[in-house]
Every structure is written in C-alpha cells, then in structure tokens.
Chain A
Amino acid sequence: MTGKQPFEAVVAAHGATVLRVCRAVLGPADADDAWSEAFLAAMKAYPGLPPDANVEAWLVTIAHRKAIDVTRAAARRAVPFAEIPDAGVTADDDGASLDGDIAAALTRLPARQKQAVAYHYLAGLPYTDVAAILGGTADAARRAAADGIAKLRRSYPGGRVRSER
C-alpha cells in the first residue's frame, strides 16, 4: 500500500516551481507572501486531496488564487499616481541584465497572458490544466500564452541574445 507522501516531500518537489511561478506573476516583492500563503493553505487541505490528484497543478491553482489575493491587497494599500513610468522591474544586483528586461517585459503583459505563460512554460502544465485554473477553454489558454510569448519576443528582441556564461 502506498499512501500520501509526507508534506515535506511535496514542498521539496514543488517548492521551487511554485516560487518561480509566483515571481513571474507577481514580481519578487510579493512572491514570498503568495508562496507562503499558498503552501499553508495547501498543507491545511492536503489530507483531503485525492491520492491520484496532480499535486503540481493543484499547488499552482492555489498559488494563482493567493496571487490574486496578494495583488488585491497591494492595490488597496497603494497610493494612486497620475502616471506610472513604464520602467518595470529593477534588475538583480548584477546590473541591468537581460533577466531584468525579460522580467520587466513579463510584468507588463496583461494578467491573463502572464498567467498562461507562467503556468504553461514555467510550471509545465498542459493547456487543459491552465484552462482549468484561468477559466475558459484550453484553446483560449493556448492563445493567451501564444499572444504573451509573441509580445515578449517583440520587447525582448533578437531571441538568443544572451551568451552562455
């Protein structure tokens, strides 16, 4: 008889992917909070999860809802400005790298495209699962991801620009 794994093993197996998804959807500042809220909620519900469930899709679904909560809470806190410069996300310590550019480009995508790109390309979920999370059909999810990728390629020109370090 094989039962459900200890939750520790769930965190070890999926923690990094869910953190990447949270960062892609929310940016680095709010990602930690969304990750923490998501895993706490997941741990609460874990004993009731059907044994044959797709754990990663389930976790990304919970993280998606928590990311929406975090975004709403941030919007309530925020003081509205007349105009927000389009500069986007600041790059990491090693300077204004391509990483900063692509992260900024992703931040500027419409929410649905950003989510579709993150859940399909970062979390590796098939479009049927992405559609279950976002609502709508698998085809619509595929289109949202394709539109997002097309926009990313326009604002992140040249494709393979980075040289391997």
Chain B
Amino acid sequence: MSTDELARELARDLARTFPAAPGENELAGELARDLARTFPAAPGELGRLHDRLAAAAERDGILDVAYRTVDSPVGSLLLAATEQGLIRVAYASEGHEAVLQALAMRISPRILHAPGRLEAAARELGEYFAGHRRRFDLPLDLRLSAGFRRTVLSHLPEIGYGRTASYASVAELAGRPKAVRAVGTACATNPLPVVVPCHRVVRSDGRMGGYLGGPDAKRILLSLEAAA
C-alpha cells in the first residue's frame, strides 16, 4: 500500500471517528468532560441502587433468577435460584459467567446478583462443609434436567452421607440396570452438584471415577464425608 493510500485511509477513519464539525466538537468536548465529572456515579451509590432494584424486582415477582457465590473448600461456588428453588450450583471450572449466560438463555435473562434468596442455601452449604450437616433441606428446581437424567438425580439422595454407590447400582436404583453409561452422563451434567450428591457415585472397581468439578473436588467431598 502506498503512502498516499495509507493517508487517505487514515483520513477516512478520522472522519468516521469525528463526524461533526471540528469547531463544535472542540467546544463541546471539553464541556462534556466537565459534565461527566460533575455527575459522577460512585460505585457505592450504584451498589446501593442495585440492591434497591433487586429488592423491588423480588417484590414485583420479576426476579426470575437470583444468584450469589460462596467460598468453599472446593473453590468458589455459584448458587442460582428461581422462585421455585435452587436451580444451579456451579464450580468455578465451569465458568460462572458462562453458567449465568446459559441460565439467561434456558430460563430467563431477568437475572440479578441477589444474595437474599440464597441465604438458606449458603447457610446449609456452610454447615455441610463444616461437617455439621448430612442432608440438604432446600426446595430444588430440577427444570434443567429432564427424562432419565432427572430420574437418576432424584435417586442420588438415597445414597447416604459418607457412603458411595457404583454407576451400575445407581442404574438399577433408577430402574434401568443396563443404562450404566447414561448414569455417568446424568452425573456429569448434574445442575446441582454437592447438593444432589453425584460425588457419591464411583466406579464398580472401587476407583473414584470422573467428576464435573474435577477429581480433586470429588476427593475433598468424599474425605470430608468419611471423616465427619
């Protein structure tokens, strides 16, 4: 490309960037900067307005999904709940942003960070990780799981705290003894890990098997339950 061509291209870009008459822009640009400084929006004020919005949305029944995060021995967990109940627990490795985007598409984009609705879930998880809680007593929204996968999830709480069961025996529990591989898929796509205990499902040969939160998380949960 010649120097002339480069210069012409640059001029076009500049014209696109500053389309108005230059005099007007110089005058007003300075004022606009002063205006923006004059009406600052401090993060604290926005935080307060955000919380007020979340409370009003909850009151008006338009907060379709509320979420928060909690710290835990298996890393930061995202908790999300509809008005029906807890709909999603997500490991950091799943990408919390991606999980929220998926919820926006599958459930509703009316999603806000609103810890209030998740107070009970956060408390029970805290008690569980402290070794003081053996079963969760939370309303669940199982909409993200359907068909046989949902059937499998509904049977997982039958494996008691501190115990494990093989994929094959869970297939039997779920009424389809030959669907061992489908049980593996159901566990790998469990939208409510930890709370719906897919970590208690292990391989028939005694090895731990895979886990959607990674092998370390599965080991931590199983040893936590074995110790308590």
Contacts and interface: CB of A to CB of B under 8 A. Distances in A.
Contact of B109 (A4, A17, A32): A4
Interface stretch (B25-33, B145-153, B158-166, B192-200): B25-33
Interface in A2-22: 3-8, 11, 15-17, 19-21
Interface string B138-149: 000000000000
Interface string B56-71: 1100101001010000
A47 B34 CA distance: 36
B7 interface: no
A97 to B, nearest CB: 9
B46 interface: yes
B31 A6 contact: no
What DSSP secondary structure best describes chain A's contact surface? helix
A121 interface: yes
A70 interface: no
Contacts of A4: 104-105, 109
A162 B34 contact: yes
Interface residues of B, number: 37
Interface stretch (A61-69, A79-87, A129-137, A146-154): A146-154
Interface residues of A, number: 43
B99 to A, nearest CB: 10
Nearest to A102: B38
Contacts of B24: 146
A46 B65 CA distance: 14
A59 interface: no
B181 interface: no
B170 interface: no
17 contacts: A4-B104, A5-B101, A6-B104, A6-B112, A11-B112, A19-B39, A19-B41, A19-B49, A20-B40, A21-B39, A24-B39, A46-B109, A47-B109, A106-B38, A118-B35, A122-B32, A145-B28
Interface of A: 1, 3-8, 11, 15-17, 19-21, 23-24, 32, 35-36, 39-40, 43-44, 46-47, 98-99, 102-103, 106, 117-118, 121-122, 145-146, 149, 152-153, 156, 159-160, 162
| Complex A-B, nearest 6 residue pairs according to Cβ-Cβ distance, in ascending order | A6-B111, A16-B41, A121-B32, A3-B105, A20-B39, A23-B39
Given A5-B109, A20-B36, A43-B62, 17 more contacts: A1-B105, A3-B101, A4-B104, A4-B109, A8-B111, A16-B46, A20-B39, A23-B41, A35-B49, A43-B53, A44-B62, A47-B108, A47-B109, A121-B31, A122-B32, A122-B35, A149-B27
